[in-house]
Amino acid sequence: MNYEIPEKMKAWVLGNPDELTLTEKPVPQPGKAEVLVRVDAVAICATDLEIIERGSPALIQGGLPFNKGFTPGHEYMGTIVKLGEGVDEYKVGDRVAVEIHAGCGRCERCREGMYTSCLNYGKNYEGNDKGHRANGFTTDGAFAEYAVNNVNTLCHVGDNVTDEEATLIVTAGTAMYGLDALGGLFAGQSLVVTGPGPIGLMGVAVAKTLGASPVILTGTRDSRLELGKKLGADYTVNVRNEDVVEAVKKITNGEGVHYVLECSGAASAINDAAKMLKRGGKICLAAFPSKPVEVDVAALVRNNISMFGIRGEGKSAVHRAASLISEKYFDASLIHTHTFGFNDLLTALKYSKERIEDAIKVVVKIPG
DSSP string of 272-317, one letter each residue: HHHHHEEEEEEEEE-S--SS-----HHHHHHTT-EEEE--SS-TTH
Mean pLDDT score across all residues of the chain: 95
- Between 12-16, 183-187, 343-347, 356-360, the lowest mean confidence (pLDDT) is in 183-187
pLDDT tier, 23 (very low <50, low <70, confident <90, very high otherwise) = very high
The predicted structure's pLDDT at residue 311: 83
Tell me what the mean pLDDT of segment 201-208 comes to.
Answer: 96
Cis preceding-peptide flag for 57 (omega within 30 of 0): yes
Per-residue pLDDT tens for 212-264? Answer: 999 999 999 999 999 999 999 999 999 999 999 999 999 999 999 999 999 99
Number of helices (H), then strands (E), belonging to the chain: the values are: 11, 19
- pLDDT given for residue 195 in this prediction: 96
**Is it true that the peptide bond before 367 is cis, omega within 30 degrees of 0?**
no
Rounded to whole angstroms, the Cα distance separating 52 from 57 reads 10
Q: How confident is the model at residue 11 (pLDDT cuts 50, 70, 90)?
A: very high
Q: Residue 1 pLDDT more than 80? A: no
Question: What is the reported pLDDT for 300?
Answer: 96
What is the predicted pLDDT for the residue at 186? Answer: 82
Q: What is the CA radius of gyration of the chain?
A: 20
- pLDDT tens for 31-84 read 999 999 999 999 999 999 999 999 999 999 999 999 999 999 999 999 999 999
Q: What is the distance between the alpha carbons of residues 342 and 323, in angstroms, rounded to a whole number? A: 28
Cα–Cα distance, 240 to 238 (Å, whole number): 5
| Closest by Cα among 70, 26, 23 to 48 | 70
Using the predicted structure, report yes or no on whether residue 144 has a pLDDT greater than 80: yes
Q: Say what the pLDDT of residue 22 is.
A: 98
| pLDDT reported for residue 357 | 95
Rounded distance between C-alpha atoms, residue 266 and residue 277, angstroms: 17
The whole-number pLDDT of residue 113 equals 87
At 185 the pLDDT is 74
Mean pLDDT for the stretch of residues 120-129: 92
User: What is the per-residue pLDDT across 326-359, written as a single tens digit (0 to 9) for each?
Assistant: 999 999 999 999 999 999 999 999 999 999 999 9
Helix (H) or strand (E) holding 286: none
pLDDT tens-digit readout, 254-295: 999 999 999 999 999 999 999 999 999 999 999 888 889 999
- The model scores a pTM over 0.75: yes
